[in-house]
Amino acid sequence: MTEPKKLFIKTYGCQMNVYDSERMAEAMGGTGYVQTETPDDADMILLNTCHIREKAAEKVYSELGRYKGLKANNPELKIGVAGCVAQAEGKEIMRRQPMVDLVVGPQSYHRLPELEAKARAGEKAVDTDFPEDDKFAALKTRPKAKRGPTAFLTVQEGCDKFCAFCVVPYTRGAEVSRPAARIMDEARDLVERGVRELTLLGQNVNAYHGHEKGLGGLIRQLATVDGLERIRFTTSHPNDMDDDLIAAHADCEKLMPYLHLPVQAGSDKILKRMNRQHTAEEYLKLVERLRSVRPDLHMSGDFIVGFPEETEEDFQATLDLVKAVEYGSAFSFKYSERPGTPAAERPQVPEDEKADRLLRLQTLLTTQQKALQDAMVGRDVTVLFEKAGRDPGQMVGKSEYLHAVHVQAEGIAPGDMARVRIVWSGRNSLNGELLQG
């Protein structure tokens, strides 16, 4: 019997890349590959890259350098670069790292088996097109393996917003929505295999239009799936938060009270320069509307400090917005230039000012996060358990609000849901006691 070939995938970046890596593994599984947890014994190494963070391409080249020894010891080893850096860099990757055998963009990874076959035949394979064929339809059905209790499900890709700091429209392409029927089929399949919570993914997920009633309509349809207990979605744009999706937070019990809604800045001047196409006041009114229908909604956001031409007054406006919203969690970064984006050509804020502002913002956000987490003590929540904890008999899961909750719970297994009373708040998690009955 022929020994299966081994595939090692290293995933960078967001949840969509995690989902994409799963699908890449499935695509290669159809050609006889099985996944391995280490590159040392792999027959193929695949880096699924992200272009959002600072110096993303250089980090990929650095990672590739670590595999030179493996390639020297095993000339049959094939190395590929996938994802957004692959889309942005294309053939430049092979020029700088001749040991790379294939490069594939995020819209073409269903063609991985063909590219791998070319590489095995001694050719260099590059595919960074935006193909017309549906990569999701082209991929083989997920193998019927047991899944954990939570899963990601991509419903939308690409972005038409063209924020001045962002490369996504160039690396992921225009907004495309998957048909609702195909999403429903995939959701049912996941539930049959043990999934109880789905997070719907998209670069601009609430721009989804594959259902006649948009993302709100899709969520309501997914809520009819027996066995699916929880629904979340990320990442959203304020301009696409329509009335029906807001209403879904009130009337759809399976939609969890946690929303990631990036704003990026609190200064209207900076928001305009970012091409966000909304004001700080419009964002705050939107948050107010959402909380009017779901008062316990926990908000999460994204922030960029030190955007070109940002003044101290502009930064103070961001702090004021953060204080007004009171975020349960947030992601914050210093602005970093992305070649080819409009903001890269503008006057830059000194690095020391960026660093100072980021520290001050993160201090405020951490204070808010801890206060909201501490306020959970004494409350009862429903926890979906995902895995065993470090201590004997301990289980770890997530509350409705996405807090990690640790519970001493003999007899509880991954996938179980139970009511828990929160008794203690730690640095990044909560401890609770299982409620009886």
- Between CA 17 and CA 269 the distance in angstroms is 32
- Between CA 419 and CA 424 the distance in angstroms is 15
Length of the chain: 437
Tokens 């304020």, residue located: 238
Radius of gyration of the chain (CA): 23
Contacts of 113 (CB under 8 A, 6+ apart): 27, 28, 30, 31
| DSSP of 94-141 | HHH-TT--EEE-TT-GGGHHHHHHHHHTT--EEE----SS-HHHHSPP
- Between CA 219 and CA 252 the distance in angstroms is 8
Tokens 């962002």, residue located: 166
- Between CA 30 and CA 49 the distance in angstroms is 22
Query: Do 125 and 171 contact (CB within 8 A), yes or no?
Result: no
Does 252 carry a binding-site annotation?
A: no
Residue type, 46: L
Sheet strand arrangement including 44-49: 33-35, 5-11, 44-49, 78-83, 102-104, 125-127
- β-bridge mates for residue 11, sequence order: 48
Query: Do 250 and 294 contact (CB within 8 A), yes or no?
Result: yes
Strands 417-425 and 380-388: antiparallel
Contacts of 281 (CB under 8 A, 6+ apart): 268
Q: Which helix (H) or strand (E) holds 231?
A: strand 230-234
Does 14 carry a binding-site annotation?
A: yes
Query: Do 289 and 327 contact (CB within 8 A), yes or no?
Result: no
- Between CA 409 and CA 237 the distance in angstroms is 39
- State the number of CA atoms in the 13 A half-sphere of 3 facing the CB: 6
**Cα distance from N-terminal residue to C-terminal residue, the chain:** 53
CA 26 to chain centre: 19
- Between CA 53 and CA 57 the distance in angstroms is 9
Q: Considering only CA atoms, which of 312, 318, 246 is closest in space to residue 285?
A: 246
Which segments are annotated as binding site for [4Fe-4S] cluster? 14, 50, 84, 159, 163, 166
Binding-site residues from annotation:
14, 50, 84, 159, 163, 166
